[in-house]
Structure 1
């Protein structure tokens, strides 16, 4: 029944196959229910247990969200939580116990999302057969199913109107994009539970999606600083040398991480007594400097009697079990033979908290890095193999890398909620939730969780890094589309390992990567244990250290703007990083661009991504744009900008006001510095912006209290502020205002009715006010004429 032909269906159907026929249709106040009956006997298909009848509920849940759900008794993935036609009649539907197929017609070829994957941002027709969903320990290479599962797709029609389709299904899945444009879904089970989002703007689609999966967690302010890590520090003394070298060279730097080499025999919640016994003192030293610390934790628990996390887990019965529930399933990971916590078990979170708290009492960490949680397994299935039944050897497997039990557990393994067959791709999601809740209980303030494996909705609990990438220019390029995708998936706290995790370190590549990484939402430099270190303080980068510092200083200045974008994401569901077409959906030239991106709606980044390049070709959509460093104005169109190794091009869109702050070596220090407003006037002299400010770590600051919120507007040579909320007592000093796009030299300027000095650059058309010592928590007015 299989087909090897490129683009062909995985199954050939009989010529008279009709799938299901429509029966009774009943209506209600919120939608319709449709009864379907099979039109062919079950013996005509190679898949067992076809359903003879289906009930399809179509509900208009909101004005912009439609839910299409096929009801049956198969496992359901549950959550607590029109310009577009959803047409599934273009091909017959198949619905069996372990094989579901449906084809949905879409009105455009401009399709995005569907991950986790590596490739171009826009889906290409030839890439369709290679989009698969089954979480896997797989370095981020093209045409592979990677660490997470996000069956969400966004489309943009020729008139700029957008829609989204989300299939809430955690089973293994394959997708094919066909021509004429339709999307063919094939899953190994579960149900069909589609959400259709009607936008009509791309931003609104993501906001509507976030209403279903949950909005992103609000990160602590310090987590937006620079993070440093490597696998292979080997001992505390080596790590301390790097920390001290970073300080000595005054490199902005907020959080130090450690990989598995800090552990005793790679066992969770332990310290190597010989090499890392002094780690608690180093962590205390980091804290005294206003810095933070994050260790790695893997889910594989060594099944060694006498090891407390194992003994306790056995007593609680919270490890994943074999197919017959007779024993705990045993695999092999870094500590050797391992068992795996079942994070769907009702006592798993208490178990996780118990051992996380005991370790926190020894090492005062500020967040957790949860890795290897697909879950990864160094043996296939288990140490004793898997069953030969339909669960471990299903009748249909999508074209994933390997098979469903390769590098993970037997799919017949049993968890509290269901079999691993159904829950596999949710493992990292449930671990992230348990870890988020654990840290909240331990620290009682915002922490940072970064998870390798994610699912739709994981952004409520965790950020993500794009995995074990390579030190190549191609990986540098692909990191952009990966980060944009995860912002569409509702996980905006995302970044790639800067300079690459594996491979030889290249000075030029690493320098360019530090520049690009300065605009990742999550900025971490990390590499493996082989080869040279690639921390900025390394002697390898003596010649380019000033360039790296410049990139970091620029990031730290922009953190108030970035933090405000995260606030908007947390409260409204808007993505932090977005492609150009999100802001300019009616401009078809933006549809294919994935080597530039926007911070919010106002800052366009155009990095160098080619070895040896000293210029960058960038597309500026309609309007006026200002170089963030010089203030030089450019109009919409394609430009070739100078880009020597010392520069990454970033442009503020006319009409936007960006709040910034003087940089320092940590966010703890930079948060006390003066603010600067960068005012980019539109061609009609207008601009607006906003600033959210709180203590950076409490949980109760985003619900309309314990924070400050300020709006800024510019019009008719007048800049004014409005203090919308003042509920956080703190000093906020306005030190400077820089206004781009002032096309004639003023003769006089006033700040709150008083004359103030200014400077004017007649070439760049930039007006500057400095040394203002203004109070941002009092309404102000600037005028110039």
Structure 2
């Protein structure tokens, strides 16, 4: 959870409200009587940090500064000379064309350009100083141990990407796709600026360009001109358009054929390409009308171009280079429940029991920082979460096929050295092995997070990795967890600089803000739309709030209308680490605010300034390696907050500290789709919202929507009302409806993860990616696809009982869609955007024709669901064909002993019988490859959608032999169901190849 978010809440003058279960009535209540948990921790802080501790220098972002210098105007650019051809490319020298401008740092006089044709679809362009010494190397070169670099694969006479350059008026270059002769990247007409703390290059863009990626950010999927994307890992509670947790300097650009009237699409497909800047420094990307300007505060220019030409190919090409997504254990696709406020083992188990009582599937129970002793990692509170009681609870949980995931924060408590009772062995072990980051003078860097003054593991030391493993292994013996939740790993600190260095005698300390649920904390507002559903009560609450606001305004002092901003001037040959001359548009302003300071120093001498964006990624890497050692052979399950390019190779990600608002439910979709581009398919958000109070309608809609996200978890903040799905009857029923569909689709979702893990495919997909010919879908991010087969169209607006959606290809006659619930084909609408009925408790879901889905039934856990009979849904396309794949393994092992791939194909044909009536013949073929046998269970039924005429025969044959089965045909829905098949194939459907005919 985000401290800045909680600090913001603590300043709000809203009444704390409590929701009465199964009703929509609200009343103002005293915090001691709220139904939400209020116990926050067992330790008693002795000292509260001053709010000024987390206030940085007053800075004005360069893009908002009217007095900012323009490097494109002031700087001379470079001249390319001394071309040297290599086997797969060339090198050249770049020399400054005139006098140094030193706008935001010291100009580098001589650079080296390296161009490599690494593969047919990948081009590498690198620009770095010609003289790199051990002293300045970390400023420019990103270590391949930390972030692997794509390597040379083959030298080809014909590459799909060609590099060309010019010296007129200064060095610039073009990258051209040979197959289409498109220039996909061009710096011609702009200048290259390369200084020790500032790099800038500009690429021209077509008007109305379609750009995706450049995250992490809360925004719509498509990035429009006029935006600025800042890449700097920040502990910031999901501000719209601000930089947040992840750092992903990659974009996908899609271009549609130009037709009359402009960018409206044609019969020809679009083309896509990708650009990856392998650089971990703070970055800023400015999207102008006709160009994109890329700025970084250091590093080299290490560009990789991916030629596609489709989105599917671009994403796969990129993800295969940064690291394929980790294969998830099957159980992780079940439902997860969490909140900050399950204050002891008894309350935690009570929630588990409530899910069983109301017959709602529950796979995994989570604990937030409530379980910790004084918020310390790897240390349970002995009163509320004792180890012996916890082991008994977890034994009961595991016996039912359920799982447990606790939170781990990135910071480690530094005990008070003058208080023996404050001893903390975890710190002692790390400190003795030199595992924590330092100040420039070699002393410990001591910031402040939840437990008080804290230190931060230095992931650039082997000692920290070893200490992390040993500490985690010792704790896992006491708390047998099944996965880990990594939080605060941006890395977050609640004060500027090493604020604890001279204050350790005051430890433990309390943050500068009151936590939700603490006496005196003013926290949560009424749920969104409360004024609509509870008009009388809302008017009364509004009067009270306005009266308080008026009283406050009378006593408040005059507000300041002017600010003296700090502007630093470059010093030739030196770097200003803490206050770089160029000010990025950072959500917290000063780089040191709410994070470790840029001058925090690693044991190898590298400054956090140069590697800040990698901290969370390295923590995830080390956690993954530790878990593989602790649980040999099992796939680690990790959900992390701060990520970098390639983090999907180690973990999944959740969307951070969102709000209980319909807007944030919508934003979850483009956020998830962007994470698909970044190679992080295991993604979900805090369903029903983390911050603030949810309500029945919002939670109803959101629990249904999130059922179609890979990571499905409900989580909310301390002090808010409860929002487990059983709190409201309608939410409970809606959840069961959505979960029933999800469980049937779990084998399909697991197969999608297999393809993501092996090929870099996406799991959640934007409509534009699956339908590249339709330019009207470029902005579509209120619907999405799971793989290519399932279209989801949720209601995202309060009070609405219908939703507008599109069925790509339906109007054009190329695609068919079947309603999941009644299994009939959608009628062709009169217009592309059509209105769909969606009363509360219903989420429109459709099967796209041309797909075969192997399904199983819902049970209370995935373990039990995997024991149920199989069914096939065969959804025919307009030509009467369908196909599908199914991947099977033990669902646990990193390297399973046996696996199985099932390829399915189906076909219907309509012909005339002897009476000249139209009848249908059906054939379904199954091809099996692999030795895995555990899921060779009976086949219950085959449902065929899109059967225009009754079957020619009611006799079912499997491998040309008559079998006993029930055949039902519904002419109205054009649906054919073949059931009672459990005895065919000796009750083992995936044992061998087979064919079913009718």
What is the TM-score when the length of structure 1 is the normalising length? 0.96
| 2:113 is aligned with 1:56 | yes
* Equivalent residue for 2:821, pick from 629, 639, 652: 629
- The equivalent of 2:44 in structure 1 is none
| 2:470 is aligned with 1:359 | no
- The equivalent of 1:27 in structure 2 is 85
**CA displacement 1:489-512 (0-9 Å, x = unmatched):** 000000010000011121000010
In the alignment, is the contact (CA less than 8 A) between 2:95 and 2:109 conserved in 1? yes
In the alignment, is the contact (CA less than 8 A) between 1:2 and 1:11 conserved in 2? no
- Find the residue that maps to 1:347 and give its secondary structure: helix
Computing the radius of gyration from Cα coordinates, the structure with the larger value is: 2
**CA displacement 1:6-27 (0-9 Å, x = unmatched):** 6989532485743112223232
Q: Once superposed, what is the RMSD of the aligned Cα atoms?
A: 1.9
- The equivalent of 1:372 in structure 2 is 488
- The equivalent of 1:169 in structure 2 is 279
* Equivalent residue for 1:280, pick from 391, 398, 408: 391
In the alignment, is the contact (CA less than 8 A) between 1:450 and 1:463 conserved in 2? yes
Cα drift, residue 380 of structure 1: 1.3
**Which range is displaced more, 542-551 or 221-230?**
542-551
- The equivalent of 1:750 in structure 2 is 956
- The equivalent of 2:432 in structure 1 is 315
Cα drift, residue 474 of structure 1: 0.3
* Equivalent residue for 2:192, pick from 93, 96, 101: 93
| 2:590 is aligned with 1:398 | no
- The equivalent of 2:878 in structure 1 is 683
Alignment of 1:38-57 (within 5 A): 38-42=96-100, 44-57=101-114
- TM-aligned CA distance change 1:204 to 1:14, over 3 Å: closer
* Equivalent residue for 1:430, pick from 607, 614, 618: 618
- TM-aligned CA distance change 1:71 to 1:228, over 3 Å: same
Cα drift, residue 413 of structure 1: 1.1
**CA displacement 1:454-489 (0-9 Å, x = unmatched):** 000000001000101000000000000000000100
Cα drift, residue 185 of structure 1: 0.6
Cα drift, residue 729 of structure 1: 4.3
In the alignment, is the contact (CA less than 8 A) between 2:72 and 2:190 conserved in 1? no
Alignment of 1:205-224 (within 5 A): 205-224=314-333
Measure the CA separation in 2 of the matches of 1:449 and 1:284.
21
**CA displacement 1:192-244 (0-9 Å, x = unmatched):** 10111000110100110012101000010000000000000111111121111
- The equivalent of 1:708 in structure 2 is 900
**Which range is displaced more, 728-737 or 481-490?**
728-737
- The equivalent of 2:989 in structure 1 is 776
Alignment of 1:231-380 (within 5 A): 231-277=340-386, 278-304=389-415, 306-324=423-441, 326-380=442-496
**CA displacement 1:62-89 (0-9 Å, x = unmatched):** 1101111113234312333524432122
In the alignment, is the contact (CA less than 8 A) between 2:62 and 2:585 conserved in 1? no
Structure number with greater CO (CA < 8 Å, separation at least 6) is: 2
**Which range is displaced more, 761-770 or 211-220?**
761-770
**CA displacement 1:263-290 (0-9 Å, x = unmatched):** 1111111111111112222111110100
In the alignment, is the contact (CA less than 8 A) between 1:114 and 1:152 conserved in 2? yes
Measure the CA separation in 2 of the matches of 1:528 and 1:253.
20
- Find the residue that maps to 1:616 and give its secondary structure: strand
- Find the residue that maps to 2:808 and give its secondary structure: strand
- Find the residue that maps to 2:478 and give its secondary structure: coil
* Equivalent residue for 2:754, pick from 567, 570, 582: 567
- Find the residue that maps to 1:721 and give its secondary structure: strand
- TM-aligned CA distance change 1:749 to 1:489, over 3 Å: farther
Measure the CA separation in 1 of the matches of 2:344 and 2:735.
26
In the alignment, is the contact (CA less than 8 A) between 2:236 and 2:244 conserved in 1? yes
Measure the CA separation in 2 of the matches of 1:688 and 1:116.
36
Measure the CA separation in 1 of the matches of 2:450 and 2:765.
37
Measure the CA separation in 1 of the matches of 2:450 and 2:74.
53
**Which range is displaced more, 140-149 or 481-490?**
140-149
Alignment of 1:654-673 (within 5 A): 654-673=849-868
Measure the CA separation in 1 of the matches of 2:954 and 2:329.
42
- Find the residue that maps to 2:246 and give its secondary structure: coil
* Equivalent residue for 2:775, pick from 577, 583, 588: 588
- The equivalent of 2:706 in structure 1 is 517
Measure the CA separation in 2 of the matches of 1:357 and 1:6.
49
- Find the residue that maps to 1:543 and give its secondary structure: helix
- TM-aligned CA distance change 1:302 to 1:629, over 3 Å: same
In the alignment, is the contact (CA less than 8 A) between 1:751 and 1:780 conserved in 2? no
**Which range is displaced more, 605-614 or 73-82?**
73-82
- The equivalent of 2:639 in structure 1 is 450
Measure the CA separation in 2 of the matches of 1:500 and 1:544.
14
Measure the CA separation in 1 of the matches of 2:636 and 2:250.
28
Cα drift, residue 5 of structure 1: 7.0
Measure the CA separation in 1 of the matches of 2:361 and 2:63.
54
Cα drift, residue 28 of structure 1: 2.3
Cα drift, residue 544 of structure 1: 3.1
In the alignment, is the contact (CA less than 8 A) between 1:188 and 1:397 conserved in 2? no
Cα drift, residue 730 of structure 1: 4.1
In the alignment, is the contact (CA less than 8 A) between 1:749 and 1:782 conserved in 2? no
Measure the CA separation in 1 of the matches of 2:751 and 2:221.
26
Cα drift, residue 385 of structure 1: 9.1
Gaps of 5+ in 2: 1-58, 133-138, 150-176, 258-269, 418-422, 503-567, 569-574, 810-814, 909-921
Cα drift, residue 631 of structure 1: 1.3
Q: Aligned residue pairs: how many?
A: 773
Measure the CA separation in 2 of the matches of 1:526 and 1:768.
40
- Find the residue that maps to 2:226 and give its secondary structure: helix
Measure the CA separation in 1 of the matches of 2:102 and 2:479.
58
* Equivalent residue for 2:720, pick from 531, 535, 544: 531
Cα drift, residue 34 of structure 1: 2.6
Measure the CA separation in 2 of the matches of 1:101 and 1:29.
29
**Which range is displaced more, 520-529 or 624-633?**
624-633
In the alignment, is the contact (CA less than 8 A) between 1:709 and 1:723 conserved in 2? yes
What is the TM-score when the length of structure 2 is the normalising length? 0.76
Measure the CA separation in 2 of the matches of 1:369 and 1:534.
20
Cα drift, residue 4 of structure 1: 6.9
**Which range is displaced more, 153-162 or 508-517?**
153-162
Cα drift, residue 745 of structure 1: 1.3
| 2:763 is aligned with 1:576 | yes
**CA displacement 1:93-116 (0-9 Å, x = unmatched):** 100111000112245601111100
Measure the CA separation in 1 of the matches of 2:740 and 2:467.
42
- Find the residue that maps to 1:594 and give its secondary structure: coil
**Which range is displaced more, 774-783 or 260-269?**
774-783
In the alignment, is the contact (CA less than 8 A) between 1:17 and 1:39 conserved in 2? no
Measure the CA separation in 2 of the matches of 1:391 and 1:612.
51
- TM-aligned CA distance change 1:391 to 1:342, over 3 Å: same
- TM-aligned CA distance change 1:447 to 1:638, over 3 Å: same
Measure the CA separation in 1 of the matches of 2:600 and 2:308.
40
Cα drift, residue 566 of structure 1: 0.2
Cα drift, residue 733 of structure 1: 2.4
Measure the CA separation in 2 of the matches of 1:669 and 1:16.
68
| 2:795 is aligned with 1:696 | no
In the alignment, is the contact (CA less than 8 A) between 2:770 and 2:788 conserved in 1? yes
Cα drift, residue 762 of structure 1: 1.5
In the alignment, is the contact (CA less than 8 A) between 1:242 and 1:537 conserved in 2? no
- Find the residue that maps to 2:340 and give its secondary structure: coil
Measure the CA separation in 2 of the matches of 1:601 and 1:356.
40
- The equivalent of 1:186 in structure 2 is 295
**CA displacement 1:28-68 (0-9 Å, x = unmatched):** 231222321111222x3333331111111111111101111
- The equivalent of 2:3 in structure 1 is none
- Find the residue that maps to 1:146 and give its secondary structure: strand
Cα drift, residue 384 of structure 1: 6.2
